[in-house]
Amino acid sequence: MYNKVILMSNNPLVSVIVTTKNEGARIETCLESIAAQSYKNIELIVVDNNSSDNTKNSSKKFTSLVFNKGPERSVQRNFGAEKAKGKYIIYLDADMTLTKDVIKECVERMKGQDNKEKIGGIIIPEVSVGSGFWAKVKAFERSFYVGDDSIEAARFFDKAIFWDSGGFDERITGPEDWDVSQRVKKRSKIERVKAEIIHHEGKVSFIGLLKKKFYYGKGVVNYLKTNSFYATRQQMVYFLRPTFYKNWKKFFRNPLLTCGTIWLLFFEQLAGFLGFLSGNIAYSKKAKI
């Protein structure tokens, strides 16, 4: 277990926080990738949200720091950070795995900073993998975002700066990664590393993607309460993202995936907007009570 290993190194302790809900089928793959990290001074914290499967028992094979907290991801992440003893924290979802040098590169980048401006967060590029045509489309779309600081969000943080920035806004689910990164960036630099996170999408369906976008769209209401639409327009409106136009040749090299991407983004935009309207109605009703 990690809490037996962490005393073996003089390097800064890194707390890896994994949020889960009914992830018994893939949680061990995620946790195995953390165990295989080349950087060994790691504390693993799993924050589960009332799973009804074997997620908790599977997690306990890797760490004794398994907790139950809900109702949403932002709450789980803040709870994990409260329990964390590390100088640095990194957030993962259960459908992600780390390539072996992710944490090593993040710590080296943090330790190698100059004294002019402190680094508060680090962006780790993500590569999507999955099965089916729509998984390929989603991976193709996300490949445009690598290196784009307006779309990619930090996952690795200096814990003190993370808390000084307010942590995750627990009212937001969906854009919470952007929100916390923007607040951290106001107090410090956001840097990036080359080592990658692999995002395992599994079997991806068109309807499933739209349902997810509708759900996340509800969280945009609270996100826009503290972030102006003008400042977040590239995040909110897919077709305003400059990376698509800067890399236009990539579309011509992949005509089938390009057609799928345009089709998907149009309907995801629609689903997200409908989710936003639904969330706005719910917010208005709650405000009247």
219 belongs to a structural domain: no
pLDDT recorded at residue 8: 45
Q: Cβ distance 62 to 43 under 8 Å? A: no
161 belongs to a structural domain: yes
159 belongs to a structural domain: yes
Number of domains in the chain: 1
Please provide the average confidence, as pLDDT, over all residues in the chain. Answer: 90
For the cut 80, the answer to whether the pLDDT of residue 229 exceeds it is: no
For the cut 50, the answer to whether the pLDDT of residue 183 exceeds it is: yes
Judged by average pLDDT, the poorest of 44-58, 62-76, 220-234 is 220-234
pLDDT (mean) for 98-118: 86
pLDDT recorded at residue 250: 95
For residue 144, the enclosing domain spans 2-204
pLDDT recorded at residue 1: 54
Percent of the chain predicted with pLDDT > 70: 93
pLDDT (mean) for 184-209: 93
pLDDT recorded at residue 116: 67
Taking only the tens place, the pLDDT of each residue in 203-221 is 999 999 999 999 888 888 8
* Phi/psi of residue 205, nearest 5 degrees: -115, 155
- In SS3 terms, 138-199 reads as HHHHHHCCCCCCCCCCEEEEEHHHHHHCCCCCCCCCCCHHHHHHHHHHCCCEEEECCCCEEE
pLDDT recorded at residue 6: 45
For the cut 60, the answer to whether the pLDDT of residue 68 exceeds it is: yes
For the cut 50, the answer to whether the pLDDT of residue 252 exceeds it is: yes
**CA-closest candidate to residue 18, choices 33, 7, 3:** 33
Residue 181's CATH number: 3.90.550.10
pLDDT recorded at residue 206: 96
pLDDT recorded at residue 197: 96
Percent of the chain predicted with pLDDT > 90: 70
For the cut 50, the answer to whether the pLDDT of residue 276 exceeds it is: yes
Alpha carbon distance, N-terminus to C-terminus of the chain = 48
Number of helical H runs and strand E runs in the chain: 12, 10
256 belongs to a structural domain: no
Within a 10 A sphere around the Cβ of 240, how many other Cβ atoms? 11
257 belongs to a structural domain: no
29 belongs to a structural domain: yes
Judged by average pLDDT, the poorest of 80-84, 106-110, 228-232 is 228-232
